């Protein structure tokens, strides 16, 4: 009787997951399984016929020198945005971690860019780089092959630092006041308090923020698509934009899906590794 009741409760609890599970299977799992099948074909995405090519697409991926540029661009964007978004977000959190008149207005202004769409953000910064930069005699980075990725990074930092600020601010509010007071009484300087008190207590916030922007950087698509169309040349083509071009304009779904599948596995490995390292560091701290 007890087991029957427990089983009913577990089935009842599981029933609440069924709608989301159904959506997951329908929208993610089934397309993924079908996509894996496409990697063994030369399907163009339009015709009804698909020719089986075995592992030809996989072999081509590891011999495709054109992939080196998207890999480099994605790595640059990911590393720069992870560092800058978290650094700027933490800096802003430290600045607004004080009560004064109008603090909520300041927080709202700093958070506001996050609610703007990626497309609109790209359009706004295209104007800033093109028109405003010319007024102060600076080159538009979006037309310079060496600077274009940094220009896209600037868009991301402006838009997303507000979210990082809020996460770190929540972490700062959770630091026990008595720990801060004890550090001050022991004669710790501001830097020492930041290093030995603030940073350890912010470990959970780092565990959330860093993997979040690692994943965001790896799948960056919108800025390249809207602001530069992968240009000039292929100087801002990221992995996701490279995959998109093969899936749609080039109509090489078999090869594009192969690159997408391999890249998905790489993203999972990187994100999982980073998250595990940060969680382990939480325990050490």
118-128 pLDDT, tens digit each: 889 999 999 99
Range of the domain at 267: 70-284
Residue 20 placed within a domain: no
CATH of the domain at 257: 1.10.3720.10
Question: What confidence score (pLDDT) does residue 284 get?
Answer: 60
The least confident of 18-27, 97-106, 171-180, 243-252 is 97-106
Q: How confident is the model at residue 34 (pLDDT cuts 50, 70, 90)?
A: confident
Cα-trace Rg, the chain: 24
pLDDT at residue 163 tops 90: yes
Residue 31 placed within a domain: no
Note whether 149 and 73 are within 8 A (CB): yes
Residue 44 placed within a domain: no
List 41's β-bridge partners, or say none: 52
Alpha-carbon dihedral angle through residues 97, 100, 103, 106, given to the nearest 10 degrees = -90
pLDDT at residue 264 tops 90: yes
What is the arithmetic mean of pLDDT over 8-30? 86
Residue 21 placed within a domain: no
Total domain count for the chain? 1
pTM comes to 0.90
Question: What confidence score (pLDDT) does residue 84 get?
Answer: 97
Residue 235 placed within a domain: yes
Question: What confidence score (pLDDT) does residue 257 get?
Answer: 94
CA distances from 3 to 6, 7, 218 (A): 5, 6, 47
Question: What confidence score (pLDDT) does residue 15 get?
Answer: 83
What is the arithmetic mean of pLDDT over 10-18? 82
Write the pLDDT tens digit of every residue in 46-83. Answer: 888 888 999 999 999 999 999 999 999 999 999 999 99
Residue 200 placed within a domain: yes
Long-range Cβ pairs for the range 272-278 (8 Å, 24+): 274/210, 274/211, 274/214, 275/207, 275/211, 278/203, 278/206, 278/207, 278/210, 278/211
Share of the chain above pLDDT 90, in %: 60
Question: What confidence score (pLDDT) does residue 80 get?
Answer: 97
Residue 258 placed within a domain: yes
Residue 28 placed within a domain: no
């Amino acid at each position: 009787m007890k087991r029957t009741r427990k089983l009913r409760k577990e089935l009842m609890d599981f029933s609440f997951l069924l709608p989301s599970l159904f959506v997951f299977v329908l929208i993610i799992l089934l397309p993924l399984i079908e996509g894996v099948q496409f990697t063994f074909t030369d399907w163009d995405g339009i015709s009804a016929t698909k020719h089986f090519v075995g592992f030809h697409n996989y072999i081509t991926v590891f011999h495709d020198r054109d992939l080196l540029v998207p890999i480099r661009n994605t790595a640059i964007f990911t590393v720069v945005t992870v560092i800058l978004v978290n650094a700027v977000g933490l800096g802003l959190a430290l600045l607004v971690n004080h009560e004064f008149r109008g603090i909520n207005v300041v927080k709202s202004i700093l958070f506001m860019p996050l609610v703007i769409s990626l497309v609109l953000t790209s359009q706004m910064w295209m104007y800033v780089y093109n028109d405003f930069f010319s007024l102060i005699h600076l080159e538009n980075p979006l037309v310079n092959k060496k600077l274009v990725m940094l220009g896209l990074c600037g868009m991301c930092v402006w838009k997303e630092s507000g979210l990082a600020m809020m996460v770190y601010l929540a972490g700062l509010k959770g630091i026990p006041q008595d720990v801060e007071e004890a550090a001050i009484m022991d004669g710790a300087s501001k830097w020492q308090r930041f290093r030995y008190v603030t940073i350890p207590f912010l470990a959970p916030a780092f565990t959330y923020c860093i993997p979040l922007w690692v994943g965001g950087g790896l799948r960056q698509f919108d800025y390249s698509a809207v602001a530069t169309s992968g240009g000039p040349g292929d100087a801002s083509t990221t992995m996701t934009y490279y995959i998109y071009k093969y899936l749609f304009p080039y109509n090489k779904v078999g090869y594009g899906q192969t690159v997408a599948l391999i890249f998905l596995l790489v993203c999972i490995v990187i994100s999982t590794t980073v998250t595990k390292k940060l969680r382990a560091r939480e325990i050490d701290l």
